[in-house]
A = this chain, B = another copy of it.
Amino acid sequence: MGAVKTKRMPRAVREQQMLDAAVRTFGRRGYMAASMDEIAELAGVSKPLVYLYLNSKDDLFTACIRREAHALTEAVRSGVRTDQPADRQLWDGLLAFFTHTAENPDGWSVLHLQARIHGEAFAAEVAAMREEIVAFVTQLIVVAAREAHRDPDLPEREVAGLAEALVGAAESLAAWANATPGVTARQAAATLMNFAWAGLGDLMEGRPWAPPAP
């Protein structure tokens, strides 16, 4: 390690630079094609230093997933003020989600694509984040239902299903928005809000859509 010349810099700062370079490289090239040489060069450090700090390509990828998952959940949480009406909370949450995924397309690619297609250990990391977001959305729908009726008769299972549907729709739409030139975060959020709110809203007000007889 004696031959490696790097400017003195706190380890935490240098580690973030490595993670920035890694997220960018994994997100754009894919996990398999990304090379540790490229990541080190992009971070402006030697390859041995990357291994010293992050241990292996697998550990580096795991660290990327954790950092990006934390940043995304924080962005959504901090975008929502729980003293607002339910539709405003949903809108703010969606706008925060699509703004974050649009501003961090490489991070979103790591979470939504790369982490899912390269084995069960990485997929489990993303699944943990997803559960947290589903729980957050479930809570939001429960609050909305409580606002609508004092004694909501939406069964717990229906609420859980709605939260799964909403999160799946948002994931799918974010991937599409990032791959489609000219779609803004605000447009993507408005599309999903349009799709979801009137439906959820009607449901909350006790006006479910009625299926035809079997």
**A interface vs B, CB < 8 Å?**
30, 32, 87-88, 91, 113, 116-120, 122-123, 157-158, 160-162, 164-173, 175-177, 180, 182-183, 186-203, 207-209, 211-212, 214
Contact = CB atoms under 8 A, between A and B. Distances in A.
The secondary structure that dominates the A interface is: helix
Contact of A169 (B123, B168, B197, B211): B168
A177 B186 CA distance: 31
Contacts of A180: 157, 160
A212 B191 CA distance: 14
Given A176-B161, A180-B157, A195 B203 contact: yes
A186 B198 contact: no
Per assembly, the copies of the chain total 2
B193 A164 contact: no
B201 A188 contact: no
Nearest to A188: B161
A91 B196 contact: no
A167 B161 CA distance: 15
A149 to B, nearest CB: 16
B173 A161 contact: yes
Given A165-B191, A169-B168, A180-B157, A120 B30 contact: yes
5 contacts: A118-B119, A157-B182, A162-B195, A165-B196, A186-B214
A183 to B, nearest CB: 7
Contacts of A175: 164
Contacts of A203: 194-195, 198
Nearest to A91: B211
A161 B185 CA distance: 12
A28 to B, nearest CB: 14
Contact of A170 (B117, B168, B187, B212): B168
Contacts of A117: 116-120, 122-123
